[in-house]
Chains A and B, each alone.
Chain A
């Protein structure tokens, strides 16, 4: 037994020692930079929220880690932020995610204070195809959401993208990415609204 243990350490001491040293190095690096990384994430989210609700002078988390069902048995959590101007609530913002053409799409969605109209969205992270799917961030597509009702949205292949209603006109050549954004909205809007109602934050 003792011989077997000795042999084990003789054969693997370098690996054990290196794993310890490298682990320590990574822990030190992570502790040195994790604050900056978190600050970058928060800064980006705050910046994107500010561009969606320009009146707001601060954003406060009103409901942390709200659970959203993305598909059968698959859940995501998101924080719901209240946009405040002075002492008045001017809207709500939250992160939303879904599967796009290439990878996960992460959005920041803004809705008005009464949760009746969408104020818009910004793309937080996306790996959609350059020149096609990445057009979800372009104004000709994105602007269709500004003022649209905060309810179920439908994607249509043809239509007038200047008419603001619950029909979103798909990007030519990027139907999957267009569908993904509409699906993300449909997964999040209603549950977020219901949870805010339950908490008495909106009527």
Chain B
């Protein structure tokens, strides 16, 4: 299937299952590992990526016929950086505590491979509708994976989800799960599970 003949259905299925960024394409690893210690920052990061992905896909799709080969990557980066800065300013203005928790990782969305990959593979070759659907499905797929990963880590490392106590009182939290090692273990198990479900072999 050529990317420029993508249908809305293919875009939805791709973003939510066959090409779900973290688990199938193994893209966007930096925020996946860094902000999934608890669900709130993971959800905020997921929604921020969704916003940037949506806006940049729309803009790239609008200018796709004007893009010259020597300007492609430069234009993608300029577009993405603009929307990332807006997302960063929004968090600083309206969610200051979350902005501090996410720290430099909001700014690092600029170099998130998912966004530049969608700009190149979809938005630069398709119309606004398909680009928007692709951005939403990819963004939602990314957010779901981040939240799943964060739920497991938060539950084991603190006994809570969204800060609400879930585990029994005598439960002993495993703090290591909130550290990078916990992120690698959980992500590894999730990747293994998805590969098992899809029958993917090495």
Query: Is B68's CB under 8 angstroms from A14's CB?
Result: yes
A81 CB to nearest B CB, Å: 20
Within 8 A of A (CB), among B83-109: 85-86, 89-90, 92-94, 96, 100, 103
Question: In the complex, which of the residues B66, B67, B89 contacts A37, with contact meaning CB atoms closer than 8 Å?
Answer: B89
Scoring A residues 73 to 105 as 1 if CB is less than 8 Å from chain B, else 0, what string do you get? 000000000000000000000000000000100
Contacts of B67 in A (CB 8 A): 14
Given contacts A14-B63, A33-B90, A40-B92, are A131 and B175 in contact (CB under 8 A)? yes
A187 CB to nearest B CB, Å: 23
Judged by a CB distance under 8 angstroms, whether A200 is at the interface is: no
B178 CB to nearest A CB, Å: 5
Query: Is A127's CB under 8 angstroms from B66's CB?
Result: no
Contacts of B74 in A (CB 8 A): 15
By secondary structure, the A interface counts as helix
Judged by a CB distance under 8 angstroms, whether B5 is at the interface is: no
Contacts of B47 in A (CB 8 A): none
Judged by a CB distance under 8 angstroms, whether A30 is at the interface is: yes
Query: For chains A and B in complex, what number of residue pairs have CB atoms within 8 angstroms?
Result: 57
Query: Is A37's CB under 8 angstroms from B79's CB?
Result: no
A143 CB to nearest B CB, Å: 22
Query: Is A15's CB under 8 angstroms from B78's CB?
Result: yes
Contacts of B103 in A (CB 8 A): 103, 127
Query: Is B92's CB under 8 angstroms from A22's CB?
Result: no
Judged by a CB distance under 8 angstroms, whether A198 is at the interface is: no
Which of B67, B75, B82, B90 has the most CB atoms of chain A within a 10 A radius of its CB? B82
Query: Is A15's CB under 8 angstroms from B75's CB?
Result: yes
Contacts of A19 in B (CB 8 A): 78
Cα distance A202–B196 in the bound complex, in angstroms? 71
Judged by a CB distance under 8 angstroms, whether A12 is at the interface is: yes
Judged by a CB distance under 8 angstroms, whether B70 is at the interface is: yes
Cα distance A12–B74 in the bound complex, in angstroms? 11
A7 CB to nearest B CB, Å: 12
Contacts of B85 in A (CB 8 A): 26, 29
Scoring A residues 110 to 151 as 1 if CB is less than 8 Å from chain B, else 0, what string do you get? 000000000000000101011100000000000000000000
Given contacts A30-B89, A33-B90, A37-B92, are A22 and B75 in contact (CB under 8 A)? no
Scoring A residues 23 to 40 as 1 if CB is less than 8 Å from chain B, else 0, what string do you get? 001100110010011001
Given contacts A14-B67, A26-B86, are A36 and B93 in contact (CB under 8 A)? yes
Judged by a CB distance under 8 angstroms, whether A44 is at the interface is: yes
Cα distance A13–B146 in the bound complex, in angstroms? 39
Scoring B residues 54 to 72 as 1 if CB is less than 8 Å from chain A, else 0, what string do you get? 0000000001001110110
Cα distance A12–B71 in the bound complex, in angstroms? 8
Contacts of B113 in A (CB 8 A): none
Query: Is A18's CB under 8 angstroms from B68's CB?
Result: no
Closest 4 pairs between A and B when the two form their complex, measured CB to CB: A33-B93, A22-B82, A131-B175, A36-B93
* Known contacts A18-B78, A40-B93, A130-B37; 5 further A-B pairs (Cβ under 8 A): A14-B75, A26-B85, A33-B92, A33-B93, A36-B93
Question: Can you report 19 A-B residue pairs in the complex whose CB atoms are below 8 A from each other?
Answer: A11-B68, A11-B70, A14-B67, A14-B68, A14-B71, A15-B71, A15-B74, A15-B75, A18-B75, A18-B78, A26-B82, A26-B86, A29-B86, A33-B92, A37-B89, A37-B93, A37-B96, A40-B92, A44-B96
Give B residues with C-beta under 8 Å from A.
Answer: 37, 63, 66-68, 70-71, 74-75, 78-79, 82, 85-86, 89-90, 92-94, 96, 100, 103, 175, 178-179
